[in-house]
Structure 1
Amino acid sequence: MGVVYFIFKTLYLWTLIFLLIALMPGLPPYVQFTEFRVTEPLPLMGSLSLNSVLNNAERLFSGKVHGPEAFEDHKGVLYTGIHGGEIVKFVDGKIIPVVKFGQVCDGFWEEKKCGRPLGIRFGPDGHLYVADAYYGLFKVNVNSGAKTQLVSTDDPVEGKINKLPNSLDIANDGTVYWTTSSCNFHLDNGVFDMLADGSGRLLKYDPKTSSNEVLIDGLHFANGVVLSPKEDFVLVAETARSRIHRYYVKGPKKGSRDIFIDGLPGLPDNLKSDGQGGFLVPLVVLRDQSNPVLFQSLGPFPLLRKFIARVLALMEMSFEQIDKIYPNYYAKRIVHWIGHFESVNELAKKGTIVLQLDVDGKIKHSYHNTDGSLSGISEAHWFDGAFFFGSPYNTYVGQVKLSFAEPQKIMQEKKPEQQKEQQPKKQQQEPSQPPQQQQQQQKPTLQQQQQQQHPPPQQEQKPPASPPLQQQKPSPSKQQQQQQQQNKP
């Protein structure tokens, strides 16, 4: 009876504590928690079948960059934003600072002070547009480093503060379509936003009037943004719900929206054009029937989500008070770690999937990494004959070189044997590439520039993996045909 009594008493006390924390009024965070459910992930079959296209990824600038979230290239130079609040460029194997947001800080745990550039995109005017998670939207002259603030996170838009600017895309007329992932939490408390109800937005910034308009509200962590080739609609990733929305900005459906694709086998991040009328969608966290995302599994249980959020908030408040009374490095690190996504990154399923969608939202192809050389990928960017992969967590730039002269070649549905036979011919054909691309290929690549400064030990080169094409039975070789003829009576 003593054991039974002890178990009953323990359960009673924990239930009392749970109800007290979950139901007591006045405890942070001061947000809503309601029930939600996500669509089951699509099975890894057909166009989603596992493959090894992105295996054997190179890790460039390892240990020299932290969190290269997104990429853009301009006039043959690659740019990215990193922890510490800087935009940098890669030239001749070196990392060169371009512009700094925020103030000088002691480390990435002081993101609010440092600044954190996330989405970047070059506009038609040649300026680099940047969404900084703590300071807002900026327009940067990459030659001089001069920056102009377009939108501040201190300025309310339609009654709410945009606390987490994330991604953006620029129309030909200069209109900026951008997202704020949350109106309740900053990036260093992103975990709370995943547990609470969504407060993300898709917005439109008019450069002529310097005004903003909310296009979609209530998104659960709004993330990547990309315009369609005709600029008649804009896509926005709703990361926490594993889906992508479509908002029409022109045509008969202007002002309306629908679900572009749902049930993604992971959490979508930065969206980009694939260069042939479709879109590239990297999944920063993977999920399937056997490996669901934790906070999505908690969606139907708002009281439990509220309890977890309040426990984390009380822990964070405690260490904030300790740091105020006795300022120290460890308390600051713990405060940053409690609510930041890096604290839950290790719980996520490892791996990499990049989807290629057509203009109607159908999955044409998927590209997988199964050897662990890539993980936590937030963006896939084609540049200088290779794919470059960004991540909010990694301390390197991921690179996968493919045996195709152009990114479009990846998507062509051909037999693997035909690709090997036709590749040398295509490299000799002048019409396959414009002159500018041919000149760029003659220049040393980013990887070659880095190797010239730090030459790696010689390794046997392996041919790149074939893309996930439709499997077809290969035709017999000439030697096999001769043997068959000799064996005939």
Structure 2
Amino acid sequence: LTVSSSIASVLDDQKLSPDSKPRQSHSSVVQRRPSVLYEMAIMRRHLVTSREHTSTRTSSQTITTSTLVSRSVSRTGTTVPNVNRSNKSSTVAVMKPLPNMANVLRPVVRKPKQDNTLWYIFGVIEASVLGVLFWLFFTGEVDPVSFKLTAVKEVPASAVQNARLSDISQINIGPHYGAESIVYVNGTLYTGTADGKILRITDSKVQVVHDMRSAACGSLSCGRPLGMRLSQDHKSIVFVDAFQGIFSFSLENEKVVKLFPVGDGFEPVFLNDLEVLSNGNIFVSETSVKYSLEQILGELMESRPNGRLLLVDPTNGRWRLFADGLHFPNGVQLHRDGKSVLVAETTRARVVRIPLDGRSPSTVFVDGLPGFPDNIRLSPRGGYWIPVSNVRNGSLFSWATEFSSNWPVIRQFAHRVSPYGSVCIKLYTLKRLTAV
């Protein structure tokens, strides 16, 4: 009854009834009232606490009374009647004051919600930027690897340095460009150009003797003559086309005959240089089995051993794999001992030596070249001519190559944003579609 009266009194003070419902309010101040069960729980906890306090106080009073009685007996020696320790009349119940229910029923002020629209916009922009950066740096057509170039070898002290090659005269082959390999025959030069032409160069003029591209073709893949050699009988020039295979150009009637491939299903990807052996067979380097000449930047950026060396029999068009796992194999030259072949690896700035027996392992013939080797040819003085491009330790390209050798992600990004990368190709395609 006491509990119920207390609850009723508090509710009357707050002008609430147990069955009344809280009024709906659209303001930020919300009236919150605990349920009857919650009120009963508060009162029960209050009574339990008061009871524990009362029992503690009663026990202490009883112990005090017993102590006083004992002291009286010891002094007078008389018997004192027993004291009823459980006498409830001697205990004084101390009740704690009831909690102020007005504090419990105090209204709660809710803060208005903040507008996070701006943060959501920033989050979307940040996620988009991170996604684009991830797409540019960590995905793509190329799969670069880390590598380390051997430091440039110092010129021996015994070597004689001179400037004889600086006294030269340039031969103008315009409007053609990109002369690659050169063959010298009886005072006449033959070379192939980037626009698919075979040129004959004399003291008087530059003449086109053959065009590897048809008039209806407007693509580079129609033909690009690269490596050239004089045949063993000195009657023809054997040259390799990067896209189409190996051909023979007759010096007598200027007729071109295809030697390889001939109907066996072989599809060239990126043929580069060749060497004609004494028995007529031909060594030809395939720079990459993954990237064509049009995609040369992908091969340079990836720097994986995608190249190989093939041995071709031009009499029947048969071929076999002679060596693989080469890094951008370029120039090919038979060693003077006749027992091995030299192959220039452009992206490693070195030349490797491959034995002809097919059993002995390959070795490094020369390393640490001052540039990136292209072709390789015999020298009449007993050595080898190794033309190099982009001299190391002296050009921006060399510095970028050395720096990015340990950072494949940089080379992957460079390929993506290059004219040969997917970004520019997609933009160019979109531009053409928009124009149409």
TM-score of the superposition, structure 1-length normalised?
0.57
* AA in 2 matched with 1:275: P
| Counterpart among 295, 299, 303 of residue 409 in structure 2 | 303
* SS of 2:174 mapped into structure 1: coil
Instruction: Tell me, in whole angstroms, the C-alpha distance in 2 between the residues paired with 1:240 and 1:209.
Output: 33
Shift of 1:123: 1.3
Distance of aligned partners of 1:187 and 1:47 in 2 relative to their CA distance in 1, 3 Å threshold: farther
**Alpha-carbon displacement from aligned partner over 1:380-424 (angstroms, at most 9, x marks no partner):** xxxxxxxxxxxxxxxxxxxxxxxxxxxxxxxxxxxxxxxxxxxxx
Distance 1:130 1:254 in 2: 29
Render the CA deviation track for 1:206-261: whole Å, top value 9, x for unaligned.
234422222222222110111123421111100011000111115xx755311101
Structure having the higher strand fraction is 1
* Among candidates 104, 112, 129, match of residue 238 of structure 2: 129
The 5 A counterparts of 1:205-224 are: 205-224=312-331
Q: 1:255 to 1:262 in 2, by over 3 A?
A: same
- Cα 1:20–1:68 shift into 2, 3 Å: closer
Aligned to 1:19: 134
**For residues 18-167 of structure 1, what are the structure 2 equivalents within 5 Å?**
18-24=133-139, 27=140, 29=141, 31-44=142-155, 46=157, 51-61=162-172, 63-104=174-215, 110-113=219-222, 115-125=223-233, 126-152=235-261, 161-167=267-273
Count of paired positions: 309
Distance 1:171 1:44, change over 3 A: same
Helix, strand or coil at the partner of 2:331: strand
Greater Cα shift, 319-328 or 288-297: 319-328
Structure 1, unmatched stretches of 5+, are: 1-8, 329-489
Distance 1:324 1:303 in 2: 30
Residue 295 of structure 2: aligned partner: 189
Q: Which amino acid aligns with 2:373?
A: P
Partner of 2:429: 321
Deviation at 1:75, TM superposition (A): 3.4
Inter-CA distance 22–246: structure 2 relative to 1 (3 Å threshold): same
Counterpart residue number, 2:284:
178
The separation in 2 between residues aligned to 1:128 and 1:81, in whole angstroms, is 11
Distance 1:261 1:137, change over 3 A: same
Cα–Cα, structure 1 residues 49 and 192, in superposed 2: closer, same or farther, change >3 Å? farther
How far apart are 1:90 and its partner, in Å? 1.8
Alpha carbons of structure 1 residues 276 and 43: separation in structure 2 relative to 1, 3 Å: closer
Contact 1:139 1:148 in 2 (8 A): yes
Aligned residues of 2:374 and 2:389 also touching (Cα < 8 A):
yes
**By how many angstroms is 1:327 displaced?**
8.4
Which SS does the other structure have where 2:133 is aligned?
A: helix
| Alignment partners' CA distance in 2, 1:166 and 1:272 | 14
Cross-structure match for 1:405: none
What is the Cα deviation at residue 88 of structure 1?
A: 1.3
- Give the letter for the 1:130 counterpart: F
Give the CA deviation at 1:39. Answer: 0.9
User: More deviation in 196-205 or 173-182?
Assistant: 196-205
CA deviation string 1:60-106 (max 9, x = no partner): 22534411111102233221111221111123511222222132378
Q: Distance in 1 between matches of 2:196 and 2:395?
A: 37
User: Aligned pair in 2 of structure 1 residues 318, 235: CA closer, same or farther (>3 Å)?
Assistant: same
Q: CA deviation at 1:58?
A: 0.6
Once residues 205 and 222 of structure 1 are traced to their aligned partners in structure 2, the CA distance between those partners, rounded to angstroms, is 16
Structure 1 position 262 matched with structure 2 position 361:
no
Look up the match of 1:228. Answer: 335
Q: Tell me which residue corresponds to 2:354.
A: 247
Matched residue type, 1:180: E
CA displacement 1:134-165 (0-9 Å, x = unmatched): 211112213222222222499766xxx54111
SS in 1 for 2:150: coil
Higher relative contact order (CA 8 A, sep 6+): 1
TM-score, length of structure 2 as denominator length: 0.63
Instruction: Note the C-alpha offset of 1:195.
Output: 0.6
